[in-house]
Structure 1
Amino acid sequence: MNIKQLLLKRLAEIAESLSKTPNALALLGVGSIGIELDRMDGYSDLDFFVICKEGFKERFIEDLDWLESICSVSYKFRNTEDGYKLMFQDGVFCEFAVFEPQELKNISFSGGRIVWQSEEFNMKIGVSANLPIDKAVDIDFSIGEALTNLYVGLCRYQRGEKLSAYSFIQVYAKDRVLELITTIEKPQDIKKDVFNITRRFEYRYPNKSSILSKILVGYDNIPKSAEAILEFLDSNFSINTEMKNKILELCHI
């Protein structure tokens, strides 16, 4: 049995277990185990929501018998007040949360698949009303942030604050580069993750994302990273000459 088959089998087993557990109402698959099954591969995990009757949330969180009865659990970690990250003994990794019906309106998710629901509960799933607003990129702002992040980061680098410099250049400025790439390359027809721009970025923007190998060069190559970002900005946009020269000077001290 390959991992995809195992994931689907495990989800079906969870559904069956919940169907026999008092006060369980529904099982909702999300992510690549939800409505995006075409994305599931050998590196996917199980993301799901359990819906239970009002007043029984803690029962399903505090006692994981409804999961542990299926397969031995080798590791579990309660990462939020609503749920866990969990590894089964056979290598199936899960991230899940438990909600009561009245909480559903406040959950942010991009759609899901009803795997099981009790006869007394009629759940209709759509797109959450709490999704992040997909705002158009403010190009001038992103350029300005990138340039000033490079400048501040390089000043800290020259001061010996390499860790702070790394954050300003290979994290903050890099994130602005990602935003700017979305304005100059048409994305491929691959589903966007509205919560995280880095997900599937290389597949959505295969041409411009090649710059990342020049940007993400590590703690010991911070000036090279700054130069790569500056070159990207200068090649694709109109940037301030004085700031460009200041940044280049700091790169070559």
Structure 2
Amino acid sequence: MHPLLRRLDDLGAHLATRGDVLALLGLGSAGAEHDRLDDHSDLDFFVIVDDGAKPRYLASTDWLAAPCPVAYSFANDRNGRKARYADGVFVEYAVFTVDELRALPIAGARVVWRRADAPADLTSCGPAPAGPPFDTVEFHLNEALTNLYVGLHRELRGERLTASRFIQSYAVDRVIALLHLAAGPGHRRDPFDLSRRVEAAYPPEVLPLAEMVPGYADNRRAAAFTLAWLVDRYPVDPVIRAAIEQLLTDGPPPRR
């Protein structure tokens, strides 16, 4: 057993001795796809408690320290904390009641431990993760193009950081969404983060990230490359294409 899974099992064994805990759920690489765990993984989990018990588990980390002393922690959310054990295991957790859990979009959860009277459907609670308003080529293509357009205007204004986010992050997310559409349903895609595991899914000749995400100082080069990538593969509207190319060459035209 991977040491991280053993840590989660040990935590579950301790929580089983407390009468106000219903279940421990592993998430992410500690969830249903736990064979993805490696030396760079952390532990993501939910602690499901009885009504009225949540404040105690948020206020104290004594239960968390049962398997190993906690060296560092802070509240990163109103429902939980991030923490690092003394032996280097990093965790992120949240505490919920069953009713709260049912309202959450969760995917790939695994029951590490559950009390005998806990609901049997804990890992199927909640709606599906919210996606884009339209999961179509037209939407993702034009979102990418307008991200490039807005980002180049911000670059020309001197707002390089926000420009880099529009050009090298938001637009690239739409490129990944286009590739996902073309490829169809994919194994182990993260429903919450398009960027996860894309290097394993698409080789550099398909998704040339080094050119699309060259860094803070290279927004114009990144925009030019991503525009060319889109033009080569999709029917880009000539109006928005010309506007982006104008920004790449001469800057914005004078206002009339």
Normalised by the shorter chain, which TM-score bucket? 0.7 to 0.9
Runs (5+) with no aligned partner, structure 2: 251-256
- Give the AA of the match of 1:93: F
TM-score (norm 1): 0.88
Q: Provide the residue aligned with 2:39 in structure 1.
A: 42
Q: Provide the residue aligned with 2:178 in structure 1.
A: 180
Per-residue CA deviation, residues 74-133 of structure 1 (Å, 9 max, x unaligned), is 111111111111110101111111112232211221142222222343533343331225
Per-residue CA deviation, residues 46-65 of structure 1 (Å, 9 max, x unaligned), is 11111222111111111211
Task: Give runs of ≥4 in structure 1 deviating > 6 Å.
Answer: none
Structure-1 separation of matches of 2:61 and 2:184: 45
Structure-2 separation of matches of 1:25 and 1:89: 27
Secondary structure class of the residue paired with 2:94 = strand
Q: Provide the residue aligned with 1:80 in structure 2.
A: 77
Structure-1 separation of matches of 2:30 and 2:143: 37
Q: Provide the residue aligned with 1:138 in structure 2.
A: 136
From 99, 102, 105, the equivalent of 1:102 is 99
From 192, 195, 199, the equivalent of 2:196 is 199
Provide closer, same or farther for how the CA distance between residues 245 and 127 of structure 1 changes in structure 2, counting only shifts above 3 A.
same
User: Percent identity, aligned pairs only?
Assistant: 38
- Alignment length (residue pairs): 249
Provide closer, same or farther for how the CA distance between residues 183 and 56 of structure 1 changes in structure 2, counting only shifts above 3 A.
closer
- Which structure shows the higher helix fraction? 1
2:63 counterpart of 1:69: no
Q: Provide the residue aligned with 1:26 in structure 2.
A: 23
Secondary structure class of the residue paired with 2:46 = strand
Structure-2 separation of matches of 1:152 and 1:133: 24
Per-residue CA deviation, residues 133-167 of structure 1 (Å, 9 max, x unaligned), is 55762222322222232223223322323233222
Secondary structure class of the residue paired with 1:152 = helix
Per-residue CA deviation, residues 26-56 of structure 1 (Å, 9 max, x unaligned), is 2122222121122222221111111222111
Q: Provide the residue aligned with 2:211 in structure 1.
A: 214
Secondary structure class of the residue paired with 1:90 = coil
- 1:71 is displaced (CA, Å) by 1.2
TM-score (norm 2): 0.87
Runs (5+) with no aligned partner, structure 1: none
